[in-house]
Structure 1
Amino acid sequence: MIKAGEQFEVRSKSEILATLDTNGALDGMPFMPQMFEYCGQRFHIYKNAYKTCDTVSGKYIGLHLDDTVHLPIRCDGKAFDGCQAACLLFWRTAWLKPVSEAGDACLPSPAPVSRGCTEADVLAATSHEVDGRTLYRCQATSLLEFTRPMAWWDVRQYANAYRSGNWSIAQVLRGLTYLGYTYGTRAHRRKIGAPARWLYNKARFLWGGIPFPRRPDLFPQKKSGASVPVLNLKPGEFVRIKPFEEILATLGKDGSHRGLMFDAELVPYCGKVFRVRTRVERFVDETCGEMRTLKTPAVILDGVVCQSKYSGQRMFCPREIFSWWREAWLERVEPMVVAQHDDVEQRKAA
């Protein structure tokens, strides 16, 4: 199994094209146009993508992949009409070759055997017209074409979380403990799970953990009517994420604010300071391939991604999808406060 941290080189354009069918895909996985610019470059494996999460069918499950990794490269959206989701890209191992400690490529480049795919085919495969609508095709929209469902009881996924180098043994054990407690006590259920959530929140101080991240009992029993602060945040500005309890007060009975869900994976970031990466106004809907425009823009924060710590069957997914934040959940922070925050963090690290 390829492990996180190993060094690989992206194969040449001709070598990669030789692996693709006329739809620009290898075993159902599209090779996207912007990925060509990395040909010949070397990267350390960011994560082994043996597993990912189903964001297409609506099923809350994990998906298995073969011979796939993540490099530290995200989609720039240029080939998809400016989609701002910035997804972490999938890379088939056939598109890479390992690099030795001496810095040389370990495997010779095979002579290209064309399957009929050209660079123009790869570009053309990114979209098509249906009844006057443009439907986009990318790795995210094609996810179910190159994965297969993974049962939660398949213990191999938990072993691979450690074997891949994606997670430490301590992280895996903590994750499994959380899973066992949550589903064993039904702590995620609104009513019957209340005692288990109470006990969790009392005991969490022993290990310095966050509050139990799924609190349906605290969602208001009516649709949220709270107004959205007009912060008009811009990339580069700093914000503090409000405390968990304050954010809960902005949510409707379904756990969303103006249609955007506040997920358990966002809870570990509450109360912390981050830089705004970008405003999200348009994105390709993975379920159908259409471009969507947010009625109320959200923002993406640097380094704030789904860590798959509290995601049930999706536990240990390495995809690291960027979390989206409503401005109602944030407050602008002045540069002086940011400097003080950084100083405190540096002292903690020391």
Structure 2
Amino acid sequence: MSETYRRGDWVEVLSPEEIFQTLDDKSALENMPFMPEMLKFAGTRLQVSASAHKACDIVNTFQNRKVDDAVHLGVRCDGSSHGGCDAGCLLYWKTSWIKPVDGPGGADEHSADVELDPAERAVIDQGSRSAETGPDESSVRYSCQATKLFDASSPLGKTDVRQYWRDLTSRNVTLWTMMRFMPLAVYNTIVGRSGHGRKYPMVNGLIKGKKTPTESLDLQPGEIVEVKSNQEIMRTLNVEGSNRGMLFTTEMIPFCGKRYRVKKRVDRLLDEGSGEMITMKTPAIILEDAVCMGCYNPGYMFCPRGAYPMWREIWLKRVSEA
């Protein structure tokens, strides 16, 4: 029986040799890839940031799916083996790749230099690409935990109450959060099925037509910005809720009017459906501490993926450090 972990537990990532013994010829365990970006954490003690018992599928089913025996450890993919992807996804760790420990350990535990047998290195590196037909990067199809999430998960119904019990017992969600947002999810589900009433909150783009405005602030990491009000942002969106192809979602509304520090500019992004690298015509912005909470969309309720929303610069305004 696999070890059950809760948020706040301390674990140690196993050695590369121990992890490799759990992988198939596609560098995966139960279809969940172990990626080259994860090797630098081997032997490191980390704290469980969430039980990864479910995840939102934004490609196929547009709702949460069940993930077995996995956790998040608060560390994110740097995209170094996936074409420099800037998404910064939380990494999935199968419980077979970690072991429980009683605390954080010493400061000298971490080693970024990992030696693998050439055959092992070849398998792990090969697992990061599903196809490569030529020197042109547009022909490369990358494979990662995000692109393989559907295969590494199974169906999970919104009415399966066991998932919400797991949210509580794993400490992913507090009882107060559950009591605050669950009635709203029920209400939005009823409205969606009946076609009567108005969902809350709601993205209501005001521009009729596909052409939407743009603004360049040339924001750089470390700068402080304020997210514009919901009403201001609605005036930049078309009726589909997007600005030049980038959606503004209900999960982004809680950040309106608040201030955050710019974490990075997003120039390159993997398409989770195809594995193709997308080079953005206009860079998007990621903000520190602004992550999707999974509280407003009933299909993605309490998803622990902690994805970074992508922000257009026209949705932000620069403010002084003071």
TM-score in same-fold range (> 0.5): yes
- Tell me the residue number matched to 1:182: 188
3-state secondary structure, aligned to 1:151: coil
State how far apart, in whole Å, the 2-side matches of 1:188 and 1:268 are. Answer: 26
Structure-1 residue corresponding to 2:274: 288
* 1:161 counterpart = 2:161: no
Counterpart secondary structure, 2:273 = coil
Question: Hey, what's the Cα distance between the residues in 2 that align with 1:187 and 1:56?
Answer: 21
In the TM superposition, what are the counterparts of 1:88-107 in structure 2 within 5 Å?
88-100=90-102
Q: Which amino acid aligns with 2:8?
A: G
Could you tell me the TM-score, scaled by structure 1's length?
0.82
2:163 aligned counterpart, secondary structure: helix
1:207 paired residue number = none
Distance 1:159 1:228, change over 3 A: same
The answer on 1:28 being equivalent to 2:31 is yes
Q: Are the aligned partners of 2:45 and 2:104 in contact in 1 as well (CA < 8 Å)?
A: no
Question: Counterpart of 1:180 in 2: which secondary structure?
Answer: helix
| TM-aligned CA deviation for residue 124 of structure 1 | 1.8
User: Does the alignment pair 1:193 with 2:193?
Assistant: no
What SS class does the counterpart of residue 335 from structure 1 fall into?
A: coil
The alpha-carbon deviation at position 240 of structure 1 amounts to: 0.6
Q: Which runs of 5+ in 1 are unaligned?
A: 105-115, 198-211, 337-350
The 1:8/1:253 distance shift into structure 2, 3 A limit, reads same
- Identify, as 1 or 2, the structure richer in helix: 1
Q: How far apart, CA to CA, are the structure 2 residues paired with 1:134 and 1:103?
A: 40
The SS at the match of 2:310 is: coil
Question: Which residue in 1 is equivalent to 2:146?
Answer: 140
Query: Partner residue of 1:321?
Result: 307
Q: Paired residue for 1:4?
A: 7
Once residues 192 and 56 of structure 2 are traced to their aligned partners in structure 1, the CA distance between those partners, rounded to angstroms, is 22
Q: 1:71 to 1:101 in 2, by over 3 A?
A: closer
Residue identity in the other structure for 1:153: T
Matched AA of 2:89: C
TM-score, with length taken from structure 2 = 0.89
Q: Give the alignment of 1:104-123 within 5 angstroms.
A: 118-123=120-125
**SS of aligned partner of 1:74:** coil
Distance 1:185 1:252, change over 3 A: same
Q: For residue 141 of structure 1, give the secondary structure of its aligned residue in structure 2.
A: coil
Q: Structure 1 residue 188: deviation in Å? A: 10
Number of positions where the alignment pairs a residue of Structure 1 with one of Structure 2: 304
Q: Is the 8 A contact 1:10 1:95 kept in 2?
A: yes
Change (3 A) 1:127 1:174: same
Match of 2:298 among 308, 312, 333: 312
Q: Larger deviation: 294-303 or 222-231?
A: 222-231
Shift of 1:55: 2.3
| Percent identity of equivalent pairs | 39
Displacement of 1:146: 1.0
Deviation per residue, 1:10-65 (Å, 9 max, x gap): 011110011111211111111001211111110110100011010232x2211101
3-state DSSP of counterpart to 2:81: helix
Gaps of 5+ in 2: 107-117
SS of the equivalent of 2:150 reads: helix
Q: Following the alignment from structure 1 to structure 2, what is the Cα–Cα distance between the partners of residues 294 and 98?
A: 41
Match of 2:222 in 1: 236
After superposition, the Cα gap between the structure-2 partners of 1:12 and 1:54, relative to the gap in structure 1 and judged at 3 Å, is same
Match of 2:58 among 55, 58, 72: 55
Hey, what's the Cα distance between the residues in 2 that align with 1:128 and 1:54?
20
Partner Cα separation in structure 2 for residue 48 and residue 274 of structure 1: 26
Larger radius of gyration: 1
Q: CA deviation at 1:293?
A: 1.1
